[in-house]
Structure 1
Amino acid sequence: MARRNVILFFILIYMWMCCRAFEVEVNCWYNQALPVSANVSVVCHTSLQGRPAICGLCQLDVMISEQRHHLPSACTNISETRAISIAFEHKGHVRCMLNCRGNTLDTCNVTVLGGIPPNPPSRPNCSIEDLEERDIHCNWSSSNKPRRPTIYTLHWQDFTGRSINFRESEKEHAIIKREEYTEDAPIKVWVTARNVLGTAKSHEYEFNTGHIIRPDTPNITYHTSQPLEIFWEMECETEGESDMKCQVQYHADDDMDWTEVDDYQLSFLLEDPRPFTDYQFRVHCRCKDEQEVMSHWSSVYSVRTPPAAPIGTLDVWSDCAPNSETTFCNVFWKEMPVSQARGEVNNYIVTLKLENGTESRQVTRQRRDTESQRSAEQGCGRLGRFPLLAGVMGVFVSANTSMGISDPTFIAFPVLGQSTPGVNLSVTEMNGKLMVSWSAPSGFSENIQEYVVQHVSVEPSHPPCLNWVRVNKTRSFVTLTGKFRNYTAYNVSLFAVIRNSSTFLKSAVAYTLQGVPPEVPKFNVKNISHSSVTLIWSHIPVHASKGVILQYSVGLNEDTVVNVSSDRTSYQMSELQPAQQYQAWVSAVTAAGEGARSITTFSTADKSGYVATTLLAVFIVVPLFALILLVALLFV
């Protein structure tokens, strides 16, 4: 036995010394020519130089995407190809590891990079910017981002067609020096883009080198208001203006894109401009018909058109609430957009039409500037609160500008005490918006002029700003947008306008984003006996709940958990142990999760004490009852 152990020991020493003495070579690489989202070939290669009798002691492992792959042997040259998929925005790491009797060596670590071949660049645009140096500046653009280093090559060929010159660039522009082309002669240019994944070529561009000199930039000098016409100046080395060709771009302040018009010389007339609107203009030109390069765009020239009388009517709504004496209404209006006001609104006029045929006019002292006018559709202005006394037949609101007064808008006040049919109202959140839908009986819908959906925050720390959307009577849904605050309750109400009066139909509380609710307030216990207790609490106020309360979770210690309806504020726990201390808790649950627990402790009554108390009550009450009965019989 001892002899066998000695032999085994020397064999292990021999194998360890041999393995340590061998030279190990491991290489890893991947096929760089394959694009992203295709299979990338990863190759690991190893070679052990030494006697093959012991090279089986070493194992080559390949780690791809955190998965280990074993090669069968490391005795000879071994290659393994693994196919992996690399997403466009990710990197894949490949590791080759050699394991000799538990001694692991990270012999190589390569990274597979994502990328795609370049798309064909745009056709190059070339121009001579400086008349003294006369170099040709060419630029182009790429329609994709290969995410791999890309080299652009500008090629050009003169009119003889005998030689092709080129210049490489890492950016999307390059220069042809003056000595590298023939002046006032035809030339052809194109661009190629290449990286390790592929090559692409642009369309060719042929031009005369004498026709690409960029002219001076024009200068817009003045304009007339009625009609709106702009004028500019430009220096050209021509005998007349007939050869000059200019392009004009313009847009109003609320337009996103420029409108472009062609074939003008020194002026441009804008037909039918909008009143009281800011317009921007710019122009660029070429001096000759054969010239292929336009000048740079001029500086932007701004013009405001004169005001005009307002058109259309205001969008007005009311919020009325009854009280013991009279009815008060808050009247709201959306500031008139510039496209309708067509001037600066000085104030708003409220006209009360009385039963005796007279009128009472109130003029607001609120003055609005142009900036608030531009964002009129986003906000609401509060006119004020005034009593609707007996004899008021109607209320109208108008916008007053320096050019006139808008048509009055009649306010549809609510009909109080009117019965309404059952209406189903649904409000859901989607991507920060409130999706509102409803259904009403068909007979009731026939009399509706339009629907109005209003929403207002119930959060008391913010002044209420009523907002509303008018919906065509043929529709039964609308999407509410705006600057909704997270974890804030909004009261969404549905109204119907019938015979110029508003009728409240239904309301619901909704959130654009719900959060975890706070602790449940006023949590305590009562009616404690030896086997039961009543837990009571208060509702979390709507403005503080951060979401719709789905239910309350009630528990004792960690063993008993009961879900209670959200409309309840108490729950009786029974089957408790007498003379036992418990920790009771309650928490509110919204769609975002369970809130913090409100916790209290109590102890149940002792059962023997409870029995003794009960017997004592019986011994006292029963004789007393018998005595009362005996006295009653004696007096009969």
Structure 2
Amino acid sequence: MAWRKVKVHFIIILYLWICSQASCEVVLNCWWNQALPVARNVSVVCHTSSLARANSCDVCQLNVITQDHRHQFPSTCASTNETISLSIATEEIENIRCTCNGNTAETCNITVRGGYPPSPPSRPVCAVEDLEVEDISCSWTKSNEPMIPTVYTLHWKDYDGKIKSRESSSESAVIKRTEYMKSTSTTAWVTAKNVLGSVQSEKSDFNTGHIKRPDPPYNIKLTSVPLELIWDMYCDGLGPLDKSCQVQYHENSHMDWIEVGDRQVTYVLDDPQPFTEYSFRVRCHCGHEEKVMSSWSSVYSVRTPPAAPVGQLDVWSDCAPNSDKSSCNVYWKEMPLSQARGDVISYIVTLQLENGTQFTRQRRDTESQHPAEQSCLRLSVPLKPGVMGVFVSANTSMGTSDPTFMPFAVRGQTTPEVNLSVIGENQMLLVSWAVHPQFSESVLEYVVQHVSVVPPSCLNWVRVNRTQRSVTLKGDLRNYTAYNVSLFAVFNNHSTFLSSEIAYTLEGVPPEVPEISVNNISHSSATLTWSPIPVNESKGVILHYLVGIKETGSEISSDRTSVLLSELQPAQQYQVWVSAVSAAGEGNRRYTTFSTNEKDRDVNTILFAVFIPLLMFLVLVWVFTLVCKATLCFVKIPDPINSKTFKHMNIQHVWPRLCSPSELTLKISELEIVENLDPNTPTPPSETESENVLIDVEPQNFQVPDELGKTSEGGDQPEEPNRGNISKPDTWAKEYSEMVDTDEEKDDDGDDDEWWHQQCVSDYERHFLPSVKAN
């Protein structure tokens, strides 16, 4: 027995431990009452649903935790619904959590949201719909939308005082035939209840034998002139005056029904609008005791006859900037049926010229329009120069509307500074502007024009009183679409463009940029270029672009389309990207890859290899030019040291043989002759003792003695003719006379020929210097 007790205790402890570890499987919802004024503290009601495990109900205690307090549910986690109310600070509404036995319960889903207590529903209407089944159907309407789960309950009290009820999540409930006594007085009412409160409707008293629903009216007739509705209603044994009917009607432009009661068999609508379609329906009940109305009849419609149009068309024009009015389009809105009062056959456009005397009529038949153009009525023909404005009127079968004058907008005028602001919301544009008060005094009205930049699109506009400074544009405005919003001021005889903005009703994330490329690539930099996203594709205003390498990006102004990538490494591959950013966020990135060039040779090395040799060459040329000028090229005095023959003996392996052009034209006309026939002859007298003889040398033949008067070997050789002519026919252009120094001149043909063929031999050397090989 003792062992069994130990086993039982161990099992109980183990069970309690397992249950304590079990999660508290409840769904927790919390609401705060939005109907009450918001104060420092708000009342919050939390409600649990019955999703807890049966095994954990005895060990799981649910707690709602706020920032400073712990609120415990009145009982443990049970399979029934529980509700607690608590007051918390307004800023703590979103900071509620729940725990189970001290641990946060993962399955405790807390939703804190606003809601309303229910308003009293309408008095229930009960009737027997099916005479065979004879169940009573009761219906009612709720007065508001609580926004939180609300339970409606139908209550009825029979003749014996017993109260029965039936819950419903909708606005109707059924009392079964077995749940009421036939032909007895019964009272019914409805209650509505949610966690924030409960209310009760007014009571409805009826006899269960007098609530049969009759058939709806039949044989209904509807005429247009006059606009009259006639019907029949079957009531067993009752005359026409015992019937009571209700009529409802509406125009097709207004869908809300207008109800007229206490009618018997006919209804006439007074003063109907011409050429307007009306819809009617009717229902009735029979006798004074039967208070149950029949169901509504079918809906019947009719159009009233047309009439002459009233009012004017709403006309506007759109001219290209700085145009001569030849590219203007004239637009007008379709005239409402309440003004046209008939089908518009055509529109008549009359042009007003500057002289005010000539008019040209233009017709535009609506039947010839393409269906896509029906909502965009315009005259798009070129306008002649000198047209100041147009008159437009609508033509119907019953007449023509009063013409509307539209003066063209004047562009290029000096206008005051205008601050135009356009803010987009979901399918709306909020437009506001500010102008100088003095400018508005002469303005008749303002026109706010908007048109989608995505073709095809129609121009639309709104006329605004001159005292207004804002307007809300609605209608067929699409999200993520750019609209060009323009502001105009209208005067007596013209209109003036003031300002414009591009706006979106709702901005989206922009797409990828169309193209991206990398140019001007070097070893350390490159130029990244991209194509801007067109306005009709951007889905929002481009705030800026993001340009990055790998994951790091930098902001680039939206008006730029290129950026220089610097501080790159040579011979490296890079992946760069570009993305556009709008108010909705960053768009998709477009990537491209490129590789930098190898590093160029060092600039200093290039300069050292090219510039330094060039500099040395220039220095050598300069030095050589100085030397040439000083010693070689300009011989001015008869000094043997200036002879190139002697210089050639010393520097012929160093300097190239050069000849001054001036020496080729030098002509000797004065000579000094000194006789020294014998080598042993004493030195001639000094220069003061010698005589200078000026002679003209005539060409003659000389026989040059060999070694002081001895003829050379081979004396039998014939004497060379014209030996005195020293000019060579193939090398020299002029002939010179030859003066021979008899004691030094040699007759060495070979040496003479070699000496004569030297290209840098001057006239001076020929006449005054001996042969190089002379002994």
Could you say which TM-score interval applies, normalised by the shorter chain?
A: 0.7 to 0.9
Seen in structure 2, the aligned counterparts of structure 1 residues 624 and 489 have a Cα distance that, compared at 3 Å, is farther
Alignment of 1:38-187 (within 5 A): 38-39=45-46, 122-128=122-128, 135=134, 137-141=136-140, 143=142, 147=149, 152-157=154-159, 162=160, 164=162, 166=164, 172-175=172-175, 177=177, 181=181, 183=183, 187=185
Q: State which drifts further: 526-535 or 565-574.
A: 526-535
Instruction: Give the C-alpha shift of residue 321 in structure 1.
Output: 1.9
Partner SS state of residue 312, structure 2: coil
Structure 2 contact 151–167 (Cα < 8 Å) conserved: no
Query: Using the alignment, how far apart are the partners of 1:536 and 1:431 within structure 2?
Result: 35
Structure 2 contact 444–489 (Cα < 8 Å) conserved: yes
Instruction: Give the C-alpha shift of residue 289 in structure 1.
Output: 3.8
In the alignment, what sits opposite 2:488? 495
Of 414, 418, 426, which residue of structure 2 is paired with 1:423?
Answer: 418
Structure 1 contact 118–193 (Cα < 8 Å) conserved: no
Query: Using the alignment, how far apart are the partners of 2:194 and 2:442 within structure 1?
Result: 71
Partner SS state of residue 311, structure 1: coil
Instruction: Give the C-alpha shift of residue 573 in structure 1.
Output: 3.8
Instruction: Give the C-alpha shift of residue 139 in structure 1.
Output: 0.6
Structure 1 contact 331–384 (Cα < 8 Å) conserved: yes
Query: Using the alignment, how far apart are the partners of 1:479 and 1:64 within structure 2?
Result: 50
* 2:45 alignment partner AA: A
What's the RMSD between the two structures over aligned residues? Answer: 5.0
1:509 paired with 2:508, answer no
In the alignment, what sits opposite 1:270? 269
Seen in structure 2, the aligned counterparts of structure 1 residues 430 and 507 have a Cα distance that, compared at 3 Å, is same
Structure 2 contact 315–331 (Cα < 8 Å) conserved: yes
Query: Using the alignment, how far apart are the partners of 2:557 and 2:618 within structure 1?
Result: 44
Partner SS state of residue 352, structure 1: strand
Instruction: Give the C-alpha shift of residue 611 in structure 1.
Output: 4.5
Query: Using the alignment, how far apart are the partners of 1:121 and 1:466 within structure 2?
Result: 48
Seen in structure 2, the aligned counterparts of structure 1 residues 174 and 60 have a Cα distance that, compared at 3 Å, is closer
In the alignment, what sits opposite 1:56? none
In the alignment, what sits opposite 2:563? 571
Instruction: Give the C-alpha shift of residue 319 in structure 1.
Output: 1.3
Of 434, 444, 447, which residue of structure 1 is paired with 2:442?
Answer: 447
Partner SS state of residue 24, structure 1: helix
Seen in structure 2, the aligned counterparts of structure 1 residues 64 and 412 have a Cα distance that, compared at 3 Å, is farther
In the alignment, what sits opposite 2:743? none
* 2:363 alignment partner AA: V
In the alignment, what sits opposite 1:437? 432
* 2:542 alignment partner AA: I
1:247 paired with 2:246, answer yes
In the alignment, what sits opposite 2:768? none
Instruction: Give the C-alpha shift of residue 380 in structure 1.
Output: 4.3
Query: Using the alignment, how far apart are the partners of 2:323 and 2:182 within structure 1?
Result: 96
Query: Using the alignment, how far apart are the partners of 2:517 and 2:111 within structure 1?
Result: 62
Alignment of 1:346-495 (within 5 A): 346-354=345-353, 355=355, 357-367=357-367, 380-459=375-454, 462-495=455-488
Instruction: Give the C-alpha shift of residue 270 in structure 1.
Output: 0.7
Q: Give deviations 1:116-168, integer Å, cap 9, x for gaps.
A: 998876533334556x76947241337478848876443221xxxx5547575
Partner SS state of residue 381, structure 1: coil
Query: Using the alignment, how far apart are the partners of 2:138 and 2:213 within structure 1?
Result: 14
Instruction: Give the C-alpha shift of residue 580 in structure 1.
Output: 4.8
Structure 2 contact 447–490 (Cα < 8 Å) conserved: yes
In the alignment, what sits opposite 2:344? 345
Q: Give deviations 1:87-130, integer Å, cap 9, x for gaps.
A: xxxxx9987799xxxxxxx9x99999999998876533334556
Partner SS state of residue 455, structure 1: strand
| Number of aligned residues | 568
In the alignment, what sits opposite 2:282? 283
Q: Give deviations 1:210-261, integer Å, cap 9, x for gaps.
A: 6544444322532343332222222334575333332221111122221111
Alignment of 1:300-315 (within 5 A): 300-315=299-314
Alignment of 1:575-590 (within 5 A): 575-578=567-570, 580-590=572-582
Structure 1 contact 60–97 (Cα < 8 Å) conserved: no
Q: Give deviations 1:559-590, integer Å, cap 9, x for gaps.
A: 6x432222223333444445555444333222
Instruction: Give the C-alpha shift of residue 180 in structure 1.
Output: 5.6
Unaligned 5+ segments in structure 2 are: 1-5, 33-43, 67-74, 87-96, 623-775
In the alignment, what sits opposite 2:594? 601
Instruction: Give the C-alpha shift of residue 623 in structure 1.
Output: 9.9
Larger Rg: 2
Seen in structure 2, the aligned counterparts of structure 1 residues 616 and 568 have a Cα distance that, compared at 3 Å, is farther
In the alignment, what sits opposite 1:54? none
Query: Using the alignment, how far apart are the partners of 2:618 and 2:384 within structure 1?
Result: 65
In the alignment, what sits opposite 1:101? none
Alignment of 1:493-572 (within 5 A): 493-558=486-551, 561-572=553-564
Q: State which drifts further: 589-598 or 171-180.
A: 171-180
* 2:156 alignment partner AA: L
In the alignment, what sits opposite 2:186? 188
Seen in structure 2, the aligned counterparts of structure 1 residues 310 and 334 have a Cα distance that, compared at 3 Å, is same
Query: Using the alignment, how far apart are the partners of 1:501 and 1:234 within structure 2?
Result: 64
* 1:188 alignment partner AA: T
Partner SS state of residue 542, structure 1: coil
Query: Using the alignment, how far apart are the partners of 2:334 and 2:272 within structure 1?
Result: 22
Query: Using the alignment, how far apart are the partners of 1:175 and 1:30 within structure 2?
Result: 35
* 1:265 alignment partner AA: Q
Higher relative contact order (CA 8 A, sep 6+): 1
Query: Using the alignment, how far apart are the partners of 2:287 and 2:410 within structure 1?
Result: 73
Query: Using the alignment, how far apart are the partners of 2:322 and 2:111 within structure 1?
Result: 73
Seen in structure 2, the aligned counterparts of structure 1 residues 563 and 47 have a Cα distance that, compared at 3 Å, is closer
Partner SS state of residue 339, structure 2: helix
Query: Using the alignment, how far apart are the partners of 1:626 and 1:301 within structure 2?
Result: 115
* 1:437 alignment partner AA: S
In the alignment, what sits opposite 2:770? none
Partner SS state of residue 544, structure 1: coil
Partner SS state of residue 365, structure 2: coil
Partner SS state of residue 514, structure 1: coil
Seen in structure 2, the aligned counterparts of structure 1 residues 436 and 113 have a Cα distance that, compared at 3 Å, is closer
Query: Using the alignment, how far apart are the partners of 2:322 and 2:613 within structure 1?
Result: 55
Q: Give deviations 1:342-362, integer Å, cap 9, x for gaps.
A: 111122121223447232211
Unaligned 5+ segments in structure 1 are: 1-14, 49-58, 68-77, 87-91, 99-105, 630-636
Structure 2 contact 238–286 (Cα < 8 Å) conserved: no
Query: Using the alignment, how far apart are the partners of 2:223 and 2:405 within structure 1?
Result: 40
Seen in structure 2, the aligned counterparts of structure 1 residues 536 and 289 have a Cα distance that, compared at 3 Å, is same
Q: Give deviations 1:307-354, integer Å, cap 9, x for gaps.
A: 111111111111112689872112211111112111111221212234
1:226 paired with 2:225, answer yes
Seen in structure 2, the aligned counterparts of structure 1 residues 597 and 291 have a Cα distance that, compared at 3 Å, is same
Seen in structure 2, the aligned counterparts of structure 1 residues 127 and 196 have a Cα distance that, compared at 3 Å, is closer
Query: Using the alignment, how far apart are the partners of 1:110 and 1:440 within structure 2?
Result: 58
Seen in structure 2, the aligned counterparts of structure 1 residues 433 and 66 have a Cα distance that, compared at 3 Å, is same
Partner SS state of residue 444, structure 1: helix
In the alignment, what sits opposite 1:328? 327
Instruction: Give the C-alpha shift of residue 385 in structure 1.
Output: 1.8
Query: Using the alignment, how far apart are the partners of 2:545 and 2:535 within structure 1?
Result: 15
Q: State which drifts further: 573-582 or 111-120.
A: 111-120
In the alignment, what sits opposite 2:687? none
